[in-house]
């Protein structure tokens, strides 16, 4: 199993390892990254919910990272930067 299973680590790792535009299943990613399937599914739900990935259901749920989209960490850093700049 992967060392750091925190939600943010799983999201970042899933995004980083699957941002090639290919379609993946939850189980494919779990095996590739050595995360639990449930953790990968939760990460994918987050990525889809906030527009970082798209999904479809055929024989099994498949997903891919949305093209030309910044990573979740880049978005978090931008938001933090904006928040710091607007603080009194």
Q: Looking at residue 28, what is its pLDDT?
A: 93
Position 1 in a domain: no
CATH number of the domain to which 70 belongs: 1.10.10.10
Our count of domains for the chain comes to 1
Task: Name the residue range of residue 57's domain.
Answer: 7-86
Q: 62 in a domain, yes or no?
A: yes
Nearest CA-CA partner of 36 in 12, 6, 63: 6
Give the Cα separation of 67 and 5 in Å (integer): 26
Q: Quick check: pTM over 0.85?
A: no
Asked if the structure places residue 72 within a domain, the reply is yes
Under 8 Å CB-to-CB from 26, ≥6 apart: which residues?
A: 37, 40, 41, 44, 60, 61, 63
Task: Decide if 69 is inside a domain.
Answer: yes
pLDDT computed for residue 1 by the predictor: 47
Convert the pLDDT of each residue in 31-86 to its tens digit: 999 999 999 999 999 888 988 889 999 888 899 988 777 777 777 777 778 766 66
């Amino acid at each position: 199993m992967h060392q750091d299973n925190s939600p943010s680590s799983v999201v970042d790792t899933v995004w980083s390892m699957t941002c090639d535009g290919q379609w993946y299943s939850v189980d494919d990613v779990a095996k590739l990254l050595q995360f639990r399937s449930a953790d990968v599914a939760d990460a994918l739900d987050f990525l889809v919910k906030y527009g970082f990935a798209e999904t479809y259901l055929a024989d099994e749920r498949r997903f891919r990272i949305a093209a030309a989209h910044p990573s979740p960490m880049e978005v978090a850093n931008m938001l933090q930067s904006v928040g710091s700049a607007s603080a009194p």
